[in-house]
């Protein structure tokens, strides 16, 4: 099959207590796997059967195939989400790093970025995502509903994403999305991954 579920880049209990092994078991092993299974069924026997995930997402978006887009984009979103977290993450990016300088240049300070990022997650009604992206020489905070993602925006490079669908946090935080977001930024945000992404621009 063209699409597969990637392994997590850390042990299932590595992000605890901020994101529990139980949450990752359901989120990665059930939700993410289901998107992979459905997308593979949808592309079987079509021109997209051997396309890359990125090609499938863009083609589905362009053609208006919402069902395929929803599943393929959610695969991509989750792939980025797992990489956006690290057991050794959180807090401000390393002083002297490109991403630290870009945050200061684009937002004024790390604190102002953090406020904007948490606001994006908090004000995304229902299910969706908060993003840190690079476009046009600047960093931007964005929010998107459901499966929507920056991959469909030419010239935008994703540095980090935070999942704010309820299944990302409900077992650990119940309805307290702000607590999840605070823990995510303070303890999990993978600035090394963001630095790698920024270096690729």
Please check whether residue 184 is in contact with residue 191, taking contact to mean a CB–CB distance below 8 angstroms. no
7 is an annotated ligand-binding site residue: no
Using DSSP's 3-state secondary structure scheme, residue 95 falls into: coil
Neighbours of 62 (CB within 10 A): 10
27 assigned to a ligand binding site:
yes
CA distances from 195 to 87, 123, 127, 160, 161 (A): 16, 26, 27, 10, 14
Token pair for residue 160? 């980090």
**Biggest CA-to-CA distance, the chain:** 50
Binding residues for Mn(2+): 27, 78, 163, 167
Binding residues: 27, 78, 163, 167
């Amino acid at each position: 099959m063209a699409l597969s579920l990637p392994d997590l880049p850390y042990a299932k209990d590595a992000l605890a207590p901020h994101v529990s092994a139980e949450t990752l078991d359901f989120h990665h092993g059930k939700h993410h796997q289901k998107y992979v299974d459905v997308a593979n069924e949808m592309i079987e026997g079509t021109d997209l059967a051997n396309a890359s995930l990125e090609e499938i997402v863009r083609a589905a978006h362009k053609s208006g195939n919402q069902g395929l887009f929803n599943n393929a984009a959610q695969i991509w979103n989750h792939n980025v989400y797992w990489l956006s977290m690290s057991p050794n993450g959180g807090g401000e990016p390393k002083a002297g790093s490109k991403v630290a300088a870009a945050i200061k240049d684009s937002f004024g300070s790390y604190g102002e970025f953090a406020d904007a990022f948490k606001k994006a997650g908090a004000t995304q009604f229902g299910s969706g995502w908060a993003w840190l992206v690079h476009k046009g020489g600047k960093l931007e905070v964005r929010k998107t509903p459901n499966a929507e993602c920056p991959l469909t925006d030419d010239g935008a490079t994703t540095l980090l994403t935070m999942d704010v669908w309820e299944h990302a946090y409900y077992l650990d935080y119940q309805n307290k999305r702000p607590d999840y977001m605070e823990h995510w930024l303070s303890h999990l945000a993978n600035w090394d991954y963001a630095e790698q992404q920024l270096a690729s621009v």
